[in-house]
Structure 1
Amino acid sequence: MRYLFLLIICLTTVNSYSQDSTATKTATKVKGTLVSSSTDLPLTEANIVNINEVVGTATDDKGVFEIRAKVNDTLHLSYLGYKSIKVRVTNDWLKFGNTEIKMTESALALEEVTVKQLELTGYLEVDMNQVPITSNNRYRISGLPGQGYEAGKPNLATRVLGAIFNPADFLYNMFGRKPNEMHKLKKMKEDDEIRSQLSKRFDREMLLVLLQVTKYDLDELVNQCNYSKDFINTANDLQILDAISVCYEEYKVIKNSKERKNRKNKS
């Protein structure tokens, strides 16, 4: 009788574990609710991105979101005026469903801005000289894909040719050191929700998280791709994503061409 009792306990435990494991493996989405830690009110239109799967979504009017994920995936949660957080997907989360997540408001210190007013004289030729000129010309290299290169400097043509045909520089080091992150560019471009979120943002935060680079490296990367400072400072995150993507595709073309040439020379 004693052995029968132990056998029943073992079978029950194994069956329960099997069910939990099956539920975890078959679960493809996690559900959560974002609320403010200070007011407990739902945060609507908050941005959620699964860094591992490279998919995104947003909360509804009740602060609820649902996103594709598996155990140990990391979700990046962000909302204007609140501190962004990263949350790891656990077995319990997948098992028990909707989880409430509280976000904390961030204290933003606004810098004092001095606006210089134009002192117009009424003479067109004089007044035109006071207006700052922004030049965002774009240069295209024949034979390479993409929309071209944005410029703001007189010696741009030289810089373009120098950067493209010398891939063993910053671009080579950046793309070569982070091939997995760069491969995410394609996924990011294909996800409509991520593209929608990036088109409304200018803080580069989501790009830094997904590409695993620093703010300095990101700015330098776009700069080395020969986009102007004006473009870097004014572009939204989606435009920056597309700029990097174009540069990466062109880098791969040049890199493959050089490798084929080296192999041919060796043979």
Structure 2
Amino acid sequence: MLKNIIYIALVLFTIKAYSQDQQAKDSLINKSEENSIQLKGQVVSNFNKTPLKGAHLFNLNSVIGAVTDDDGKFAITTKPNDTLYISYLGFQSIKLKITNDLLKGNELVIELHEKAEQFNEVVVKSHKLVGVLEIDAKNVPKDKYARIHINGISQTYESGSSSSKTYNSAVDKMFQPINMMYDKFGKNPKQLRKIKKLRDDDALRQMMEDKFNRELMMEYLNVDAVELNDLLNECNYSDYFIKQASDLQLLEAVLLCYENYKAIKKGSTVRDNNSKN
């Protein structure tokens, strides 16, 4: 009888503790929402002050996105201390720290500067196709990972197996890009949730599909361009795919690589599961 009373008391205590914890979380969420404000403004060119239609704005903290309309105007939910990332094709991207002064009701005008880019000479070679798959497959260009790509076709097709990088010592392996990403997400799961939201939210997916500058990915992954390239190479993605894929495709590639690596680290892979069936 005494055991039953103690058991019931423990259950009630657990339920009460969970309820209090949930109420605290809900209170924090509601407080955060109360502090959120619709920031309105316009994105224009610094050179001639013309509105920039289709400029992208991301709230890096809440992972919310917005796109400017025909007049370059936008409205995005934000709060003090959030950081907005603003980008437009051919212009220098900027990060804007939100302060209380910016949220006092006046519409914000954001000016972007054009990029000064140098284009290297590109040599395009033609590849004649005869319509016979066995012959054409030998004539189309291949990259070092044997992934076939044909001009005008966005999809990349596998024609062989990728070769993974080898490490000469345990120290080298410890500092491989994929292992560093695994450790980084393990220590900061909140950042991983933000990246997954970029992939799963329909509006954000559309925005990432139209981007090719990798800047937002590097911001969330906290890597530079070289480190991002090394990471994707480590995951056995070809140079052609890395250069041609949209930011959304690269984001999905990184997350898939992470999930596969996590499964291997935990000793659970697709191959192992299939072998048990």
Pair 1:26 & 2:35 matched: yes
User: Does the Cα contact within 8 Å between 1:232 and 1:240 map onto a contact in 2?
Assistant: yes
SS in 1 for 2:104: helix
Q: How far apart are residue 199 of structure 1 and its match?
A: 0.8
Larger relative contact order, structure 1 or 2 (CA cutoff 8 Å, min sep 6): 1
Of the three residues 175, 186, 194, the one matched with 2:182 is 175
CA deviation vs aligned residue, 1:46-87 (integer Å, no higher than 9, x gap): 011111111211101111111121101111111112111111
Q: How far apart are residue 174 of structure 1 and its match?
A: 2.2
User: Does the Cα contact within 8 Å between 1:35 and 1:100 map onto a contact in 2?
Assistant: yes
1:251 and 1:175 map into 2 onto residues whose CA distance is 8
SS in 2 for 1:32: strand
CA deviation vs aligned residue, 1:170-215 (integer Å, no higher than 9, x gap): 3122221354333322121123232112112222122112222111
SS in 1 for 2:80: coil
Pairwise mapping of residues 70-85 of structure 1 onto structure 2 (< 5 A)? Answer: 70-85=79-94
Aligned pair in 2 of structure 1 residues 160, 103: CA closer, same or farther (>3 Å)?
closer
1:41 and 1:225 map into 2 onto residues whose CA distance is 42
1:33 and 1:249 map into 2 onto residues whose CA distance is 39
Count of residue pairs the alignment pairs up: 216
SS in 2 for 1:96: coil
SS in 1 for 2:263: helix
In structure 2, what is the equivalent of residue 234 of structure 1?
244
In structure 1, what is the equivalent of residue 194 of structure 2?
184
AA aligned to 1:206 is L
Q: How far apart are residue 244 of structure 1 and its match?
A: 0.9
- 85-94 or 179-188: which moved more? 179-188
Of the three residues 109, 114, 138, the one matched with 2:118 is 109
In structure 2, what is the equivalent of residue 249 of structure 1?
259
Scaled by the length of structure 2, the TM-score of the pair is 0.66
In structure 1, what is the equivalent of residue 95 of structure 2?
86
Larger Rg: 1
1:171 and 1:238 map into 2 onto residues whose CA distance is 19
In structure 2, what is the equivalent of residue 58 of structure 1?
67
Pairwise mapping of residues 209-220 of structure 1 onto structure 2 (< 5 A)? Answer: 209-220=219-230
Share of identical aligned residues, percent? 38
Q: How far apart are residue 106 of structure 1 and its match?
A: 1.6
Aligned pair in 2 of structure 1 residues 60, 161: CA closer, same or farther (>3 Å)?
same
Aligned pair in 2 of structure 1 residues 36, 75: CA closer, same or farther (>3 Å)?
same
Pair 1:67 & 2:50 matched: no
User: Does the Cα contact within 8 Å between 1:33 and 1:101 map onto a contact in 2?
Assistant: yes
User: Does the Cα contact within 8 Å between 2:52 and 2:72 map onto a contact in 1?
Assistant: yes
Q: Which runs of 5+ in 2 are unaligned?
A: 1-30, 149-156, 168-172, 269-277
AA aligned to 2:75 is E
User: Does the Cα contact within 8 Å between 2:35 and 2:79 map onto a contact in 1?
Assistant: no
Q: How far apart are residue 152 of structure 1 and its match?
A: 6.7
Of the three residues 98, 104, 127, the one matched with 2:107 is 98
In structure 2, what is the equivalent of residue 144 of structure 1?
none
Q: How far apart are residue 41 of structure 1 and its match?
A: 1.4
User: Does the Cα contact within 8 Å between 1:152 and 1:230 map onto a contact in 2?
Assistant: no
1:55 and 1:64 map into 2 onto residues whose CA distance is 16
In structure 2, what is the equivalent of residue 200 of structure 1?
210
Aligned pair in 2 of structure 1 residues 151, 218: CA closer, same or farther (>3 Å)?
farther
CA deviation vs aligned residue, 1:207-253 (integer Å, no higher than 9, x gap): 11222211111111122122223322221111111111112222333
SS in 2 for 1:71: coil
